[in-house]
């Protein structure tokens, strides 16, 4: 049979690194250090240092596929790990610095991490797990500027001592480059292993104009941790395009970030809603305090972003792009943009679409499947579990034979998110499978209730969970955080909800709390709330 005549050229992160060194040497990487001072590196230095890291790792005995863990904040050296470790043939394993010591140790042992690159300011965390793990070498990045203890390898000396003349080892495009464990709420954490191929394809798909739409004029500030699904893959994109990056380091409080925005003028930032929501609140209260860059764009994911919050940012001149995905999907699987047939909509009519999980990305096949195994119509009403398929979607978990139920017989990933899809293709996530409330045989979406409660002008955050009920099986319970110094009554929330929801869908009870529990990646942890409820640890209802 006739064969295509195209060259056999494997997809490779090394191509991005060489491209950056060759074309974008003058582009800048700005890092905020722990003392809040800024330091700037050029891409030329980044390229040279990444290759030095690769060369030093090889000289240290790294073999193809060996795991090199990172326990780091967002900074330029972490970016060097993103490219230097795969360049050497290693697998970068990003560790979540917000995990407990036991879970961290379990993950490091499961992944069989051989080397570790760790920030000096995070050594106290490492100390908590040191006895439980076996690391051949600990390389300490002197992020604080202090001298590194002789007991460790100094990252800077490691690079300075790298043999010259580094040559990329040949690789297949399916070879692994990075791994990340999901913060599953049930069972042990599960590892996803990305390849050169998946990283490159995800980057190309996510960079499309109606997805991230990153351009040469952008300066990108990732608040999303670089240990959280590779900071959503944005660092790969910036290096491919030679874009200026601004790394916030360890100071991530809303005021710290707004100060950094004002100081460094990013055009594009990314993070979870729990980062952004208090910032909108601060800007509402002190509208004169921060002069932010005009037309700044924000990529939001990880949890639903209420339409009211997207509108609040728009009032401050900031444009929210809402994406959906998970560690298992590299992560961007869908993004909320206005499709061709809806281009006639005016600005106001676009907001409800911005609040959806959007449309599937190119290269992603996406379907919803009901409990009966049937795909419901795309009518915006009937729901099913989201299942996805494609070249940057995981097809298994690393050495997790008990995870077979996370995949369908035809090889699609079962995401555990429940959604409807409207006739235009927009995905509206109503819940996690395990967060749905079944009352009297009918489903109630906790996410819909939460978004509606958060539209209350004096509410900061809200979670709705199912609690057992003798007659109705389950009933919704609302847990609400008031904005500081604000008074909110259950009646005022109930009145607001009654405009949109049926009487039987309204929460029976309201609990007011100082803060809600979040997972290590900043998502609302309803599992924790349910556990607190079972243990009788929640405050009394009002």
Secondary structure (DSSP) of 281-347: HHHHH-TTT--PPTT-EEEE-SS---HHHHHHHHHTT-EEEEEEE-GGGSSEEEE----GGGTT--H
205 forms part of the interface with a second copy (CB under 8 A)? yes
204 binds a second copy (CB under 8 A): yes
Q: DSSP character for 212?
A: T
Q: Is 329 a catalytic residue?
A: no
Quote the least distance from Cβ 353 to a second copy, whole Å. Answer: 11
Residue 114 or 475: which CB sits closer to a second copy?
114
Q: How far apart are CA 391 and CA 205, in angstroms?
A: 11
- Beta-strand pair 219-222/268-271: parallel
Burial 327-347 (b: 16+ CB within 10 A, else e): bbbbbbbbbbbbeeeeeeeee
Question: In the bound complex, what is the minimum distance in angstroms from residue 29's beta carbon to a second copy?
Answer: 12
Cβ neighbours, 10 Å, residue 221: 28
382 forms part of the interface with a second copy (CB under 8 A): no
**Which of 378, 443, 474, 528 is labelled catalytic?**
443
413 binds a second copy (CB under 8 A): yes
- The residue count for binding a second copy (CB under 8 A) is 79
DSSP strand pairing (137-141 vs 153-154): parallel
Kindly write out the interface string for residues 77-96 of this chain, putting x where it contacts a second copy by CB under 8 A and - elsewhere: --------------x-----
Q: Is 438 an active-site residue?
A: yes
Q: Check if the beta carbon of residue 145 is closer than 8 Å to that of residue 33.
A: yes
Q: Tell me the per-residue interface mask from 434 to 473 with a second copy, x by CB under 8 A, - otherwise.
A: ----------------------------------------
- Under rule CB under 8 A, residue 343 binds a second copy: yes
Choosing from 36, 63, 339, 438, the catalytic residue is 438
Site for a second copy in 10-29 (CB under 8 A): 10-11, 15-16, 18-19, 22-24, 26-27
Question: Using the 8-state DSSP alphabet, how is residue 360 labeled?
Answer: E
Q: In the complex, what is the shortest distance from the CB of residue 478 to a second copy, in angstroms, rounded to a whole number? A: 35
Residue 392 engages a second copy in binding (rule: CB under 8 A): yes
Q: Judged by CB under 8 A, does residue 176 bind a second copy?
A: yes
Query: What is the closest distance, in whole angstroms, from the C-beta atom of residue 350 to a second copy in the complex?
Result: 12
**What is the rounded CA–CA span in Å between residue 101 and residue 392?**
30
Q: Which of 28, 80, 307, 328 is catalytic?
A: 328
Which CB, 73 or 426, lies closer to a second copy? 426
Considering the complex, what minimum distance in angstroms separates the CB of residue 284 from a second copy?
Answer: 31
x/- track of binding to a second copy for residues 35-74 (CB under 8 A): -----------------------------xx-x-------
Does 215 engage in binding with a second copy (CB under 8 A)? Answer: yes
Q: Are 223 and 252 in contact (CB under 8 A)?
A: yes
Own/partner pairs for 445-448, CB < 8 Å, 24+ apart?
A: 446/476, 446/526, 447/304, 448/501
Separation of alpha carbons 501 and 488, rounded Å:
19
Tokens of 461: 């955050």
207 binds a second copy (CB under 8 A): yes
| CB of 13 or CB of 447, closer to a second copy | 13
Active site annotation includes 385: no
Q: Catalogue the active-site residues.
A: 182, 328, 438, 443
């Amino acid at each position: 049979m006739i064969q295509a005549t195209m060259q056999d050229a494997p997809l490779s992160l090394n191509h991005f690194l060489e491209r950056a060194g060759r074309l974008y040497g003058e582009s800048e990487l700005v890092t905020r250090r722990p003392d809040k001072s800024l330091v700037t590196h050029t891409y030329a230095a980044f390229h040279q240092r990444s290759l030095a890291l690769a060369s030093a790792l090889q000289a240290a005995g790294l073999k193809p596929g060996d795991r090199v863990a990172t326990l780091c904040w967002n900074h330029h050296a972490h970016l060097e790990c993103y490219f230097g470790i795969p360049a050497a043939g290693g697998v970068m394993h990003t560790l979540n610095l917000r995990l407990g010591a036991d879970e961290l140790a379990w993950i490091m042992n499961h992944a069989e991490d051989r080397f570790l690159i760790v920030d000096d300011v995070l050594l106290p965390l490492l100390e908590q797990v040191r006895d439980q793990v076996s690391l051949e070498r600990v390389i300490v990045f002197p992020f604080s500027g202090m001298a590194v203890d002789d007991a460790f390898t100094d990252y800077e000396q490691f690079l300075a001592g790298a043999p010259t003349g580094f040559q990329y080892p040949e690789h297949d495009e399916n070879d692994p480059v990075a791994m990340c464990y999901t913060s599953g709420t049930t069972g042990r954490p599960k590892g996803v292993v990305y390849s050169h191929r998946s990283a490159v394809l995800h980057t190309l798909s996510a960079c499309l104009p109606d997805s991230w739409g990153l351009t040469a004029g952008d300066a990108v500030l990732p608040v999303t941790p670089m240990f959280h699904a590779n900071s959503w893959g944005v660092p790969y994109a910036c290096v491919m395009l030679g874009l200026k990056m601004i790394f916030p380091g360890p100071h991530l409080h809303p005021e710290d970030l707004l100060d950094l925005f004002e100081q460094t003028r990013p055009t594009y930032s990314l993070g979870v809603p729990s980062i952004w929501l208090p910032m909108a609140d601060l800007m509402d209260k002190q509208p004169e305090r921060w002069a932010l860059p005009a037309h700044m764009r924000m990529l939001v994911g990880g949890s639903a972003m209420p339409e009211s919050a997207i509108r609040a940012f728009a009032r401050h001149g900031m444009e929210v792009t809402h994406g959906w995905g998970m560690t298992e999907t590299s992560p961007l699987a869908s993004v909320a943009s206005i499709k061709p047939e809806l281009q006639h909509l005016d600005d106001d009519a676009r907001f409800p679409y911005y609040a959806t999980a959007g449309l599937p990305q190119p290269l992603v096949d996406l379907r919803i499947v009901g409990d009966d195994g049937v795909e419901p119509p795309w009518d915006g009403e009937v729901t099913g579990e989201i299942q996805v398929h494609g070249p940057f979607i995981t097809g298994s978990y690393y050495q997790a034979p008990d995870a077979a139920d996370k995949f369908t017989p035809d090889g699609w990933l079962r995401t555990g998110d429940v959604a409807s899809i409207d006739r235009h293709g927009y995905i509206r996530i109503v819940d996690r499978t395990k967060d749905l409330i079944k009352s009297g045989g009918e489903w109630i979406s906790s996410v819909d209730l939460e978004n509606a409660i958060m539209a209350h002008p004096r509410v900061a955050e809200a979670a709705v969970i199912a609690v057992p009920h003798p007659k109705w099986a389950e009933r919704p319970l609302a847990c609400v955080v008031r904005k500081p110094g604000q008074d909110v009554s259950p009646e005022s929330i109930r009145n607001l909800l009654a405009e949109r929801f049926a009487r039987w869908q309204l929460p029976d009870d309201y609990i007011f709390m100082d803060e809600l529990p979040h997972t290590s990646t900043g998502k609302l942890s309803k599992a924790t709330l349910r556990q607190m409820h079972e243990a009788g640890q929640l405050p009394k209802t009002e």
